[in-house]
Chain A
């Protein structure tokens, strides 16, 4: 029988809110995170890092460190593979510097010793001779003629001739004639916007325990969003066969994109190979700030024309993204997301990926999109204010919808932007009165979402319960979602299903948990694997009854004859079939391996009320509502948590968080005391509205939800703060000193 569980209504388990399967482990301390692994004979590692923003490494003398009692191995770049180019070459250069230190905190050597204290002392005993070079940390400065060149020859073929070598990628797209469009407008506004780099702020630092023998066989335990990717990178950097390195992902204390790449794992493995002992390496918080990947900082120009009736006639944006000392800043994503919410006849967007002497940027929830929304949605807010238009009605008038052409080229399939705007307009928040000193801001936001390589295996036990092995680390509650989707297909209770994150030796390749892909892609694979198992269950029932397999169907955990012609048989419960499976053909398992390509895009609309204290410049977010299209919320509590989490991180990004560099190019605030993430007392209750416009690319209609929620906050908060302060804020973060400066400028002006 052909099975297809596709449906968007009539669910029994999907859409319910059961307890999370990892909850007890986490609240009792039983869950094992990256730093919780131990091995007999284990050594502890520490990394020597550059104190300079840009310097040629003249000489590294490790002799004093190697002579210290308890030191078992010291590695430098010479201990890694050679001849690696492209993406992995850049990762190697970031993991361990070669000829130059490219940023404050860049690794130059590492030590493994019998204790963490000895390792740290030995790091101090390593002597590095540097030739200090000019540095640049600002994106606009790095693009100017005469700016220090970070790395020659790093630009790809997209960059037009004549641009500075620090510009390493260029993107341009659009359609129509923007100048003709601007000529049709009653009002054109062009503004310049700046955002600073922010860190994902995950609570758990990067940590790993690695063992690599001289036979090329290894084991690695690490905190990551994608252990198959870690396996692939480490194998390349250490020149070992990929399959000989087994990687297991720990529980993860937050990632948000920052754990989609590799920083320390190859170092632990190189030290282990040299010492012939397991090596544990845990980053300090200062190292996380200095040497993992924050977001890009940006410099942006946006110009939008509008008619008096609210019709947008043309839009143009230039987005310059600072990506640290390596290519990869998501300039094209910023440009593509910028005007995605709007149906535009004339649009043009340009993106620049710019290198500086900072750590390599890494993904952070919808990489590049939040900054674009900040600039674009701020200008739309200004236009609405000056033309006396309602901000939601204006967005509805111009909204992208099914069949309209996206700003980056294709026509939209079924999307849910209009539904989020209508839900926002109908929400009591939008019409609630404001108090004196308060302002209200609106913003839309967009993210693509992703599918990617995925493999899932489902095994039934004799008692009729099920084990599901997935390969995507659970960064947002996916074990609960997988269990709910498997329960829906198998027709057994959620509690009878255990979902495990398998290691790299257990399943086929699984792409990283990124791009809001897990509930979509691993969920789709779980549904298909469960259908595969159900098909086999039906076959066993058919064999028992002596009827054709296609005369059996599956309902609520039972195999049933499909009608009177199939014969009259008592339905067989899943447990009745699995109890005898060893004697009726062997174990019953379901599998699915594919690269699902039907990830549906997602839109959101946020409403924010902010209050500004004109004496201190302090901003308080007093009310916040997130409205977002989830396609289908498999576990609504987790979906609401993703909505709230994106808003909370956006509040930090908008109001307080920033990387601060000194004149010497060194990071000034590498710790949570000086880098101010929001705490519970900074946040209001964040209300949520789940809109469900089913994604036709998923059997249950799921769209990714983890990233879109951070797209609107920067703009929505800026629009609220600008309204409250009475002055337009075009630079983030809107910290108190910046608010006061803006207020003083407005008075002086």
Chain B
């Protein structure tokens, strides 16, 4: 299981928790598990998120590996100029 930290705006959607645990070995599997286990997060995930894995901001690649002891944090998707 991987602990996924949520930004505080998402916490009301998961009964106030600041993180949730899901199964997954890649960013894509983590996002799919979040959709499956926490449907209320679906619209936010569909709108686009970045995933920070051990300090690296993963903006779009679903194949990036994640290990059970990784620090995983959801972030709103980044844009730049």
Contacts and interface: CB of A to CB of B under 8 A. Distances in A.
Interface in A184-208: 200
Contact of A409 (B5, B59, B80): B5
Contact of A156 (B47, B59, B80, B81): B47
A410 interface: yes
B58 interface: yes
Interface string B1-29: 00001011100000000100000000000
Interface string A324-340: 00000010110010000
Given A172-B8, A409-B5, A452-B59, A597 B64 contact: yes
B67 interface: no
Given A408-B75, A597-B56, A597-B57, A450 B80 contact: yes
A367 B75 contact: no
B79 A514 contact: yes
A653 B5 CA distance: 36
B78 A515 contact: yes
Contacts, number: 102
Chain B CB count within 10 A is highest, among A447, A451, A598, for A451
Interface stretch (A358-366, A372-380, A577-585, A720-728): A358-366
Nearest to A412: B55
Given A411-B55, A597-B61, A260 B81 contact: yes
Contacts of A515: 78-81
Given A156-B43, A595-B61, A597-B57, A330 B52 contact: no
A257 B79 CA distance: 10
Contacts of A412: 55
Contacts of A668: none
Nearest to B62: A595
B56 A409 contact: no
Interface residues of B, number: 27
Nearest to A157: B43
Contacts of A332: 76
Contacts of A449: 80
A contacts with B: majority SS: loop
A93 B8 CA distance: 33
A517 B9 contact: no
Contact of B78 (A171, A260, A409, A448): A448
Size band of the A side of the interface? 35 or more
A363 B81 CA distance: 5
Given A156-B47, A410-B55, A412-B55, A595 B60 contact: yes
A448 B64 contact: no
A448 B52 CA distance: 12
A447 B76 CA distance: 14
A507 B7 CA distance: 37
A409 B9 CA distance: 12
B9 A172 contact: yes
Interface string A344-373: 000010000000000000111111000000
A514 to B, nearest CB: 4
B71 A448 contact: no
Contacts of B79: 330, 333, 363, 367, 514-515
Contacts of A363: 79-81
A157 B76 CA distance: 13
Contacts of A173: 7-9
B59 A451 contact: yes
Chain A CB count within 10 A is highest, among B54, B74, B80, for B80
A391 interface: no
B33 interface: no
A411 B18 CA distance: 16
A693 B80 CA distance: 22
Contact of B81 (A158, A174, A365, A413): A365
19 contacts: A156-B47, A157-B43, A158-B44, A348-B8, A409-B5, A409-B73, A410-B5, A410-B71, A413-B54, A413-B55, A413-B56, A447-B80, A448-B78, A450-B80, A514-B79, A514-B80, A516-B80, A597-B58, A597-B60
Given A366-B80, A597-B58, A601-B57, 4 more contacts: A173-B8, A413-B56, A452-B59, A707-B81
Interface of B: 5, 7-9, 18, 43-44, 47, 52, 54-61, 64, 71, 73-76, 78-81
A-B pairs with lowest CB-CB distance, top 3: A257-B81, A515-B80, A363-B81
